[in-house]
Amino acid sequence: DAGVTQSPTHLIKTRGQQVTLRCSPKSGHDTVSWYQQALGQGPQFIFQYYEEEERQRGNFPDRFSGHQFPNYSSELNVNALLLGDSALYLCASSWTGTVAINYGYTFGSGTRLTVV
């Protein structure tokens, strides 16, 4: 049973460009959350998607946007990239209605984005 799959594994972009990261949730999961993990820091919550809509959002600018498809997979888009956007981006999937304390979150291995 595949867990959470993220692509690509690594990515290098130039400042000002746009990037799209992809996530396929664990089988049976229908909710996807995205986190940003800067070097030496803990993951920071970006947003969560459920039923193809953004259900909760963290403290990130509008340059960060997302999408969820009918098959529950998700994309994270970042526009006008800044050097400070360099980080590991983690996707976590869960089952319908699971709040974080139900510990039903499964994390992927992440996409390492480098902005130069």
Give me the half-sphere count of Cα atoms (radius 13 Å) on the Cβ side of residue 43. Answer: 17
Which range of residues in 15-23, 67-75, 77-85, 101-109 is near other proteins by CB under 8 A? 101-109
Which range of residues in 15-23, 51-59, 68-76, 77-85 is near other proteins by CB under 8 A? 51-59
Cα-to-chain-centroid distance, residue 26 = 14
Size of the site for other proteins (CB under 8 A): 25
Q: Does 55 bind other proteins (CB under 8 A)?
A: yes
Token match 């998700």: residue? 74
Which range of residues in 14-22, 35-43, 60-68, 72-80 is near other proteins by CB under 8 A? 35-43
Q: By the 8 A CB rule, do 73 and 25 touch?
A: yes
- Quote the CA–CA distance of 33 and 47 in Å, as a whole number: 6
- Quote the CA–CA distance of 70 and 5 in Å, as a whole number: 17
Residues within the interface to other proteins (CB under 8 A):
3-4, 33, 40-45, 48, 55-56, 58, 90, 92, 99-101, 103, 105-110
